Structure 1
Amino acid sequence: MGLKFLGIIPNTPDTDSPTIWLDEETGDLLIQSYKATDVEVKACQEIGSIPGHSTAVPDHETIIRLPKIMLRFIPKPDTE
């Protein structure tokens, strides 16, 4: 897997470091960030996504909170 570092919160302390990497083979993003709180997860589940889709979070998934400042590191889609 070829990963490319995209960014970390500026001036982050050594022990608190939301970070984003790009998998250069798949285009997927790998994100280290804060875990959503139980209250936030419940709010996400209450809103849901599409009708009929489960709101349960499977064991192999999680909900994270990505700080707004990190959005600048997310690559823009290629346009034609």
Structure 2
Amino acid sequence: MDANWANYVGYAASFFVVLSFMVKNIKQIRVINLIGCIAFVIYGVFSGMLWPIIIPNAILCVIQLYHLIKHD
């Protein structure tokens, strides 16, 4: 996989995580943050299995999904 592609995914992940702090609606926060966390997991995998990035973001994905499903 091209290293530049992985970097773009990492930048997108950072963008979505920061964006999630800028909205007020909790459901929108969770969805936007979930997108960012998924992108960070992809970034971590394609950047050489960066476990310190993959593990917490995978856990956050599960937490966000739990709250999105629980509150719907």
Q: TM-score, normalization: structure 1?
A: 0.21
Q: Give the helix-richer structure, 1 or 2.
A: 2
Q: TM-score, normalised by structure 2?
A: 0.22
Greater CA radius of gyration, 1 or 2? 1
- RCO (CA 8 Å, sep 6+): is it higher in 1 or 2? 2
